[in-house]
Amino acid sequence: MTLCPPLLKFRPILLDKPWGGDALWRVLRKGHPGEKSMGESWELSDRAEACSAVEGGPLQGTSLRDLLARYREAILGEASAEDLLGESGHFPLLYKFISARQKLSVQVHPSTGSLLGEAKTECWYVVDAEPGAELIVGVVSKGKTRGEILERLKSPRCEEVLHRWPVKKGDVFFIPAGTVHAITEGLLLYEVQQNSDTTFRLYDWGRVDAKGNPRALHLEEAAEVADLQGRGDYQIPSLRVEKISHAEDYLVACPYFALVKWHGFKKNARLETHGKFRVLTVVSGSFTATTEEGEAMPLELGDTVLIPACLKEVRLDAGGPDAEIIVSFVPDMDKDVREPLRHAGYGEKAVKALSGPALP
């Protein structure tokens, strides 16, 4: 008989960044007061350079990699374990919060099949945004050749071709691999992405380190993988499904990941895993997650918990009317996305929009 691990909460991995700020502490209470350059909090990561370890409980200190070695099918599900781990043998997704006091570099990531590095498709949920905050996603290509766009992207003239989007709390953006993008100042984002850390920088706003040295750029690699077609469907309109106990907003759904925000709780709700792992992240208020065995775990704003596939059902009790939690997983697009949304009355066009722009 395969042992079933409990609910799994991990110790955040905090990373200083030259563009980081104080929002991770100020909003989410991650890190320590007074920290002014904390850029990222990796909540769930299976990377050699930053592997998550369990926080609390009987598995305290156990790394995610060791958990997968010991409980692979129990965590991922018997039917999907091999497909999810792929050739790397690592957990398929990486979860993080990003706090930007300054603009990040203009960058791009390779797509599946590229020989230049690991593929990275990602999405952003805006947790907090200062008035006037913007995101850079995609390019403005009308009337310009690919060569002209590339020349601008690697110079201060990049502003002429970058597509800026005004943003507010609760907005969702889908960033397919190959999309030119940059997070800008005044933002706190929740990011879900393929398990990759391959980034090619095109422009870094003239930023230098303490010794006056600029960060490395990767112009040739970026030029090879960048999608430079002007597209307008990176911002995803959510699709709502009303339940008896709560509402579910489908935020993003693609073959790599799906995100559904649960909110508007009228009473406790039951989350069924259907034999697949689920990841929960609190983006407003608080919750208590309780297993069928009676294990209860309090969850505060910014907390992330991995629900192993072997736990068939978890009860979610909202701490107040403002409580919101994002449920994410690797979907079966037909069973997990199209069927419930069609049943709720949505057409194929609306459902397809959850996967963002169709890239070549």
Task: Show the beta-strand stretches assigned E in 79-159.
Answer: 93-100, 106-108, 122-129, 134-139
Q: Map tokens 């960058």 to a residue.
A: 107
What does residue 145 show for φ and ψ, rounded to 5 degrees? -80, 165
Cα–Cα dist 303/286, whole Å: 9
Residues 6+ apart with CB under 8 A from 227: 176, 178, 179, 180, 359, 360
Residues 6+ apart with CB under 8 A from 313: 270, 271, 272, 273, 291, 292
Do 126 and 172 contact (CB within 8 A), yes or no?
Answer: yes
State the chain's maximal CA–CA distance in angstroms. 64
Catalytic residue among 65, 101, 201, 231: 201
Taking the CA atoms of the chain, what radius of gyration do you get in angstroms? 20
201 catalytic, yes or no?
Answer: yes
Number of other CB atoms surrounding residue 328 within 10 Å: 25
Catalytic residue numbers, as ranges: 201
